[in-house]
Amino acid sequence: MPLNRRTFLERSAAAGVGVAVAGAAAAPAVADERGEDHGHGRPRKRYAFTVLGTTDLHGNVFNWDYFTDKEFDDKAHNDVGLAKISTLVNRIREEKGRHNTLLIDAGDTIQGTQLSYYYAKVDPITAERGPVHPMAQAMNAIGYDAAALGNHEFNYGIPVLRKFEEQCDFPLLGANALDAKTLRPAFPPYSMHRLRTPHGRDVRVAVLGLTNPGIAIWDKQNVSGKMVFPGLEEQAAKWVPKLRSMGADVVVVSAHSGSSGTSSYGDQLPYVENAAGLVAEQVPGIDAILVGHAHTEIPEYFVTNKETGQQVVLSEPLKWGQRLTLFDFELVWEKGRWVVERVGAKVLNSNTVAEDPKITGLLGDEHKKVVAYVNQVIGTSTAVMSTADAPWKDEPIIDLINHVQAETVKAALAGGEYAALPVLSQASCFSRTAAIPAGEVTIKDAAGLYPFENTLEARLMTGAQLKEYLEFSARYYVQTPAGSPVDTSKLTNANGTPDYNYDAVSGLTYEVDIAKPAGSRIVKLSFEGAPVDPGARFVLAVNNYRASGGGNFPHIAAAQQLWANSEEIRNTIIAWVQAKGSVDPAEFASVGWKLTRDGVPVF
């Protein structure tokens, strides 16, 4: 029977843990007769099933890009969205038998597209008689069995998350999302699922959900004093033995945490951000881990558990519904219980199938509303602005973000103690395909420029701190000797640094010498034509992700906060354009920084 939400919550509240989910009569399971049963001459009992997994859906239902208002496409011709995933899931269920499959997700569901934004902010699901979130509708219709919490689930605040949870017909799991006062789980830690076999004894599959400790930093204003997020390894070590003692034959972890063992918030928390591999290595009793958060594709990756020597399989399907992971389990009946004999993983590409008309039809009206919303005209622009070259040139479109942020902070500090200090601003190239057209500017144009729900803060920094901040940012470039050819396709993202962790700072002028090693690249750092005084004080307009330690930039997280608001920077830009009526790059664009090699400009 499908999971009944009311029953789930009642049982979970009573037990403090998950709930058993009984499957209906199953289609014949895959079985073979390899081996004999301890000399008795009878075939050994076998059973096979499949766990399907998605992660980092980020509000994608349709194969549609709301920022360009057309069908999604990229260089690899990937497709996105739950409508595509639904077709793949239907195909696998038909092949394997519906009740020989489970479908789970590893988090970051309700943030990322204008579709998800619209139903959090414009027509919010929290309103009285509000709508049902499109992601809840789609995932319910597809038949998800469980989903882990992602860090972006907390972006819109706990009330929106709780309402989304209420609208889902499956549990949102978070064993390491604890109530700050009681230190008890604020969400179900796990769910338990029964798969019926042809052999009489059901297979009990436990799904343990783990989320990202970085939530405590990245969404501090939403969770501080309400929830805490201890490390994944610690909580897995607590719960996996419990699940085994409760009779779990198979333990699958759904972890919104990458596999690399690294963190982007440094030593601000004593936990690892990307800990899925460490969980597999350190915690005995896990059979498979669905990995999320890192936005990378890992079809199949084995980690050896240090205590047992067991091989644990990890898989991470590519973001936004571009891939679907399949964990194929083969079990054998041994000594009165089911034992995992082998498990493997692979991913399926959603661009190989059509969208499921059941899902597109279900949410057609919501899609049309959002398309109409993003196409609202908010002003005009005198020139085309694009991010195509922004990763290596100071482009007017990034200057626009910095100009709006600096103007907003100046107005907020006016008349106060810090009003006389110069205001600088940081911004990143979040998307290399964002553009502001000449002529009419719409909401989708501005939203495409700033796709994240970041808010704005003002922090107090010294000249010396800003120099170190810029040096850290400049690690983004691959060291390129003077005189050698420059290939822009290989110039950036050194050591895996994403575009959103390269900050350009406006209000200063400087050069980034990419012939020099990281840490000694910032030269000719000046303010108003004079070298920056290391002791001088500046106000930095900065997004809350960076101010909270995201990216692990030096000094900023510890810097004094002078001001902050709760309005998304994207909406601040939209409001600024609406108020101005016309955007003219001549009013704010300048070349404040440039790449050089031994003093010679690269471009």
Confidence (pLDDT) at 409: 97
At residue 557, the pLDDT reads 92
pLDDT band at 565 (very low <50, low <70, confident <90, very high): confident
Q: Is the pLDDT reported for residue 7 higher than 80?
A: no
Q: Which residue has the higher pLDDT, 132 or 565?
A: 132
For residue 5, pLDDT over 60 is answered with: no
Per-residue pLDDT tens digits for 275-325: 999 999 999 999 999 999 999 999 999 999 999 999 999 999 999 999 999
Q: What is the pLDDT of residues 179-190, one digit of tens each?
A: 999 999 999 999
pLDDT over 50 (residue 23): no
Q: Strand 561-568 vs strand 455-462: parallel, antiparallel, or unpaired?
A: antiparallel
pLDDT digits (tens, 9 = 90+) for 503-512: 999 999 999 9
Residue 450 has pLDDT above 60, yes or no: yes
**Mean pLDDT, the chain, whole residue set:** 92
Nearest Cα residue to 313 out of 362, 242, 252: 252
The HSE-up count of residue 456 (CA atoms within 13 Å, CB side) is: 27
Q: Is the distance from CB of 206 to CB of 258 less than 8 angstroms?
A: no
Q: Considering only CA atoms, which of 151, 159, 188 is closest in space to residue 172?
A: 188
Residue 32: its pLDDT value, please? 41
Q: In what order do the strands lie in the sheet with 537-543?
A: 504-506, 423-427, 537-543, 455-462, 561-568
What are the strands of the beta sheet with 190-195, ordered from one edge?
Answer: 20-22, 190-195, 203-210, 250-255, 288-291, 311-316, 298-304
Confidence grade of residue 76 (pLDDT, cut at 50, 70, 90): very high
Which element (helix H / strand E) includes 425?
Answer: strand 423-427
Please state the rounded mean pLDDT for residues 180-208. 96
Report the candidate in 138, 140, 134 with the shortest Cα–Cα distance to residue 120.
Answer: 134
Q: How far apart are the first and last CA of the chain?
A: 63
Give 90's contacts (C-beta < 8 A, 6+ positions apart). Answer: 356
Confidence band of 40 (pLDDT split at 50, 70, 90): low
Q: What single letter denotes the amino acid at residue 600?
A: V
Residue 41, pLDDT score: 58
Phi, psi of 209 (to 5 degrees): -100, 130
- pLDDT above 60 (res 408): yes
Give me the percent of the chain exceeding a pLDDT of 90.
Answer: 87
Q: How confident is the model at residue 267 (pLDDT cuts 50, 70, 90)?
A: confident
The pLDDT of 499-504, averaged and rounded, is 97
Mean pLDDT confidence for 170-185: 98
Would you place residue 566 in the very low, low, confident or very high pLDDT band (cuts 50, 70, 90)?
Answer: confident
pLDDT tens digits along 316-332? 999 999 999 999 999 99
Predicted TM-score (pTM) of this structure: 0.84
pLDDT at site 34: 42
Q: Is residue 25 over pLDDT 80?
A: no
Query: CB under 8 Å to 267, separation ≥6 — which residues?
Result: none
Contact residues for 41 (Cβ-Cβ < 8 A; gap 6+): none
Average pLDDT in the 487-514 region? 97
Q: Is the pLDDT of residue 72 over 90?
A: yes
